[in-house]
Structure 1
Amino acid sequence: QVSVLDPSPGAAMKTEPGLAPRSPATTPGPASRPPWAVDPSFAERYAPDKTSTVVSKHSQPATPTPMQNRSSIVQAAQQAPEGPGRTPLCYKCNKVIRGRYLVALGHYYHPEEFTCCQCRKVLDEGGFFEEKGSIFCPKCYDTRYAPSCAKCKKKITGEVMHALKMTWHVQCFTCAACKTPIRNRAFYMEEGQPYCERDYEKMFGTKCRGCDFKIDAGDRFLEALGFSWHDTCFVCAICQTNLEGKTFYSKKDKPLCKSHAFSHV
């Protein structure tokens, strides 16, 4: 609770860069203050050249990169039936193929010789992956090349989510509050945890003391009298003169200009 400060010449205050305009009354507890005020690293993370004691801007939400699907790079060998007049050479053994053969990566193979370079499994069906000139069955490819999920640490063999310079299962990259997968939607980070926009505003958002509307991302704001204000809303309660950077007085948690310091509010 902010105590009432009777206006007097000694009670004048002024907003200055680096100093929050505040009353010498009791400072509100952490629970009533916005994240940029209670989190020492907020200004460093989102506005390195500013702190919460001067006009700043809300952080902009991050957005994950589009999801990638592993199935988009899997390939399949095409089986060709026996036919007269065709005597292709096997790419692996360099011998003439008589009978059924496979076509993969622009080459011909005996079916039994188109195999995974790791487990030697025949790849005549089920698909395969090509990596740096080597052929892999899906299982061996995943073991060697599939990215790991930053949350569960397991290999990602389906859709891959890229966020925070890491890879995730789609179902593992979720809002810390509602647990809903964020997928391609924007999100905010708070104390190392991602939050969807709705929950971030609900849990960490704040309202302007002057207009009672929330301070959105990108809005300029300042702190005074223990509250947050849009820079255009911090005005004298009597004459509406903007008080940003000016000497002001306080009565009943309302800012007053010098001319109206002794007026009733």
Structure 2
Amino acid sequence: MSATAGPRRNLFNLQPLDATTPSPLFQRRRVAVGEETGHEANILHLEEDLSATMSLGNAVCQRCNDGFKMDEQIVNSSGLWHTYCFVCAQCFQPFPEGRFFEFEGRKYCEHDFCVLFAPSCGKCGEFISGRVIKAMNASWHPECFRCFCCAKILADEGFVKNQGRALCKDCNAMEKAKGLGKYFCFKCHSIIDGGHLKWKGEAYHPYHFNCHSCGIELREDAREKDGELYCLRCHDKMGIPICGACRRPIEERVVHALGKTWHVEHFVCAKCEKPFLGTRHYEKKGLAYCEIHYHQLFGNICFVCNNIINGDVFSAFNKAWCVNHFACSICDKKMSQKTKFFEFDQKPVCKNCYDKFPGELKKRLKKAYDEAVKAGKI
């Protein structure tokens, strides 16, 4: 889409001659403004010694239709005018500095012409005198019609209408790439349909670059080192550590553990897969575990508080308790290693509470206990 320039207007400057200057019957001065001269604006001075062949005759003022007096200064501009009749058709005031605009046979001072007919710029709001850019349902000064994104002047460049905005071709291509969820090549300014290569924070087609070492055309898996780009093969030969998880080169921080090197974000707990990020880890059979899952799998977690037991442990029924948390599950009385207790529903019960059980229940519990011992489960 191209912006179009509106019609140019002619501006005339009236410069009256000195009435006392010796001159022929008509003295003329052509005044040109800008690039064009559209008409002639003339000041006439009538001398007393008129030629016999010349007569005022039917000459009348274009405005008042009255004749002219001898030795009267008049204006010649598409007809003859008294100087006091040669005024703005809107405000009826003399033209400031003799400057006027003519439209449809009527003459206007610059102010009234702008108010009545001149377009206003869609950006700055000022009247436009001279070249007009017609675009986006508005008028613009050439220097005001710019790209919405990069502010590049579009008057002579052409533009693309994008969601009600005027964009240069490069910015439109970039916006289109964003809408498609694709990258925009920083070098050739086109959409990247395949894999992209990131370099110095910008996206490129990989084929714009060659390996700094072997010269092969690069692919999206190229790597940067010391400000240069390398193919993956050359990069791996440079002694750069390889991550034990993703098998890709490690270009930033390195974690050394389990006899391997790791990306920081790839060194994770074998159970919950959360990165350690510098926190303590535990190793077991070639795997790394966070503290909680290591103790859950290989250590002791209190059955009551679910915390790791660092001191003495009370163990029973394949469970573990902190010393302060080992108590009767019925009366909550604290028990020690010397306290006699019984199992009920996989929980400890003190002797006093057990003795209060019905006889039939105690017989069934005793029978189940004997069968477990016989089966080697206890």
User: TM-score when scaled to structure 1?
Assistant: 0.48
Name the larger-Rg structure: 2
User: TM-score when scaled to structure 2?
Assistant: 0.35
Q: Larger RCO: Structure 1 or Structure 2 (Cα < 8 Å, ≥ 6 residues apart)?
A: 1
